[in-house]
């Protein structure tokens, strides 16, 4: 039985990944979820699996080196899927320090733990793998409508978030180059789907629209992101963990480029299409809610991923067209408004007021 150490498993992609893996492999795998439960971590996402004998949650900060080493010494970990991170660009602009601690030093602790547990006299035990879940933002930005990010595109991060993820990727690379450490790096585009925290574009717009609040679009809304349905991403990570040769980097993208304003318009139109006629929230939802606000500092213009390598080498392709994925996502939020209400109480309101300068 393979044992997975999933870091950040209570966050958006991590919890989707744990649910995906449990559904796919059932009792034939074991998952240990290590998460500090920051504002972005929510154990409620994992209710479906929390009572399983092959699932274990540990509240641990990956910056706590002793605890990380002791986990590797206590459990025979086969595969590390490393999601744990501070993940929001806007927060990194305001408070970069925690990004360096978690994203860089936390990653080094995991590499150190895995290396010492997996090392043999002539290399590493068989069947071990460390997957660093990274981002297309390490490539910087595409300045116009042409071209794509390839795995060979030079690293050129711009935000403190992407700089910290690049630093972590380089540490992973250094372990591969120095020790032939069994790692892969995946770099995906913007994910969307159930359980995403409403600081990110799509859930923020859904939540605001349902509450009749303004929809804050940065700049002129013309920046482009390449959207990937989270389940497709989870599948890619599993495929890379299983089949990626040591040291390979894989871009994971949905071929789903959209301007931000198109996304916001689609959210409004889909909500109006999906909400029943008698739902009182319909009255306040309209395109008039769109409000253009001050642009993000250093706002990367366009991200677009070429996922050719993962397709040709490992046979992965995105399966969820955006028109379907956005409906699935909105349907999930409509069915889980109590989830949204619980996480937008308290600290979120302070964040929102400060970020969007609302009274
Ligand atoms: P998220 O912010 O929703 O979740 C992050 C999780 O990490 C949370 O559960 C949080 O509690 C945990 N965490 C934070 N600091 C920790 C620490 N010090 N120790 C232990 N746990 C800690 O993030 P996400 O959107 O699920 O992203 C997961 C990974 O995927 C991140 O590494 C991110 O860089 C990468 N990624 C995300 C996207 C995206 O669109 N969401 C795109 C590309 C790459
Ligand atoms: P985000 O979801 O924060 O992801 P990232 O910055 O990692 O791509 O933002 C996606 C895009 O949406 C980005 O171009 C910034 C923009 N955006 C807004 O216009 N308004 C908002 O309130 C937010 C959160 C993002």
* Probe target for ligand 2 pocket from 159, 213, 225, with the most ligand atoms within 8 Å of CB: 225
Q: Is 136 a catalytic residue?
A: yes
Annotate 125-140 with b (16+ C-beta within 10 A) or e (fewer): eeebbbbbbbbbbbbb
The pLDDT, as a whole number, for residue 359 is 53
* Per annotation, catalytic residue among 4, 20, 55, 161: 161
166 CB under 6 A from ligand 1? no
Superfamily of segment(s) 2-355: NAD(P)-binding Rossmann-like Domain (3.40.50.720)
Q: From ligand 2's centre to the CA of 63, what distance in Å?
A: 27
Q: Predicted confidence band at 320 (pLDDT cuts at 50, 70, 90)?
A: very high
Residue 168, pLDDT > 80, answer: yes
* Probe target for ligand 1 pocket from 9, 10, 11, with the most ligand atoms within 8 Å of CB: 11
Mean pLDDT of 57-71: 98
The pLDDT, as a whole number, for residue 283 is 95
Mean pLDDT of 263-284: 97
Report percent pLDDT > 70 for the chain: 100
302 CB under 6 A from ligand 2? no
Annotate 79-88 with b (16+ C-beta within 10 A) or e (fewer): bbbbbbbbbb
The pLDDT, as a whole number, for residue 358 is 74
Q: Where are the domains of the chain?
A: 2-355
The CA-atom distances, in angstroms, between 312 and each of 69, 153, 200, 244, 315 are 37, 18, 31, 12, 6
Helices 107-118 and 65-74: crossing angle in degrees, nearest 10, is 30
Q: Rounded distance, CA 88 to CA 81, Å?
A: 19
pLDDT digits (tens, 9 = 90+) for 95-135: 999 999 999 999 999 999 999 999 999 999 999 999 999 99
* Per annotation, catalytic residue among 35, 86, 136, 141: 136
Q: Is 354 a catalytic residue?
A: no
CA atoms within 13 A on the CB side of 62: 34
Least confident of 24-28, 136-140, 354-358: 354-358
Q: From ligand 1's centre to the CA of 13, what distance in Å?
A: 7
89 CB under 6 A from ligand 1? no
Q: From ligand 1's centre to the CA of 38, what distance in Å?
A: 10
Q: Average model confidence (pLDDT) for the chain?
A: 97
pTM listed for this prediction:
0.98
Q: Is 161 a catalytic residue?
A: yes
The per-residue DSSP string of 225-254 comes to: EEEEEHHHHHHHHHHHHHHPPTT-EEEE--
Q: Rounded distance, CA 253 to CA 255, Å?
A: 6
pLDDT digits (tens, 9 = 90+) for 17-51: 999 999 999 999 999 999 999 999 999 999 999 99
102 CB under 6 A from ligand 1? yes
pLDDT digits (tens, 9 = 90+) for 234-259: 999 999 999 999 999 999 998 899 99
Contact call for residues 12 and 40 (beta carbons, < 8 A): yes
303 closest CA partner among 236, 261, 258:
258
Residue 206, pLDDT > 60, answer: yes
Mean pLDDT of 78-105: 98
Q: What's the distance, Cα to Cα, between the start and end of the chain in Å?
A: 53
305 CB under 6 A from ligand 2? no
Q: Predicted confidence band at 346 (pLDDT cuts at 50, 70, 90)?
A: confident
Residues in a beta bridge with 29: 2
* Per annotation, catalytic residue among 35, 86, 137, 226: 137
Nearest-CA residue for ligand 1 atom 5 is 11
Annotate 295-330 with b (16+ C-beta within 10 A) or e (fewer): eeeeebebbbbbbebbeeebebebebebeebbeebb
Q: From ligand 2's centre to the CA of 126, what distance in Å?
A: 41
Q: From ligand 2's centre to the CA of 201, what distance in Å?
A: 5
């Amino acid at each position: 039985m393979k044992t997975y150490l999933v870091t950040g498993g209570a966050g958006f992609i991590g919890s989707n990944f744990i649910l995906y893996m449990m559904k796919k492999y059932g009792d034939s795998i074991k998952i240990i979820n290590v998460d500090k439960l920051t504002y972005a971590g929510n154990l409620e996402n994992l209710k479906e699996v929390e009572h399983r004998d092959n699932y274990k949650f540990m509240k641990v900060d990956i910056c706590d080196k002793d605890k990380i080493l002791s986990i590797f010494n206590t459990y025979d970990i086969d595969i590390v899927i490393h999601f744990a991170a501070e993940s929001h660009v806007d927060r990194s602009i305001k408070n970069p320090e925690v990004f360096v601690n978690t994203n860089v030093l936390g990653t080094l602790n995991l590499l150190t733990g895995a290396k010492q547990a997996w090392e043999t006299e002539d290399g590493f035990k068989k069947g071990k793998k460390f997957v660093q879940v990274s981002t297309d933002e390490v490539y910087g930005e595409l300045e116009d409508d042409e071209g794509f990010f390839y795995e060979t595109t030079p690293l050129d991060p711009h935000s403190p978030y992407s700089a910290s993820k690049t630093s972590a990727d380089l540490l992973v690379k250094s372990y591969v180059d120095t020790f032939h450490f069994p790692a892969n790096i995946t770099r995906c585009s913007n994910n969307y789907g159930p359980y995403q925290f409403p600081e990110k574009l799509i859930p923020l717009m859904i939540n605001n629209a349902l509450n009749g609040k303004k929809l804050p679009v940065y700049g002129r809304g013309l920046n482009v992101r390449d959207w990937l349905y989270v389940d497709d991403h989870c599948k890619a990570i599993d495929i890379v963990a299983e089949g990626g040769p040591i040291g390979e980097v894989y871009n994971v993208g949905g071929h789903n480029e959209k301007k931000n304003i198109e996304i916001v318009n689609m959210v409004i139109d889909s909500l109006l299409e999906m909400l029943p006629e008698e739902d009182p929230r319909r009255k306040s939802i309209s395109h008039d809610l769109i409000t253009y606000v001050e642009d993000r500092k250093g706002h990367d213009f366009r991200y677009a991923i070429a996922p050719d390598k993962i397709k040709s080498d490992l046979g992965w392709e995105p399966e969820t067209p955006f028109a379907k994925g956005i409906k699935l996502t909105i349907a999930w939020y409509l069915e889980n408004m109590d989830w949204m209400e619980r996480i937008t109480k308290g600290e979120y309101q302070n964040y929102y007021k400060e970020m969007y300068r609302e009274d």
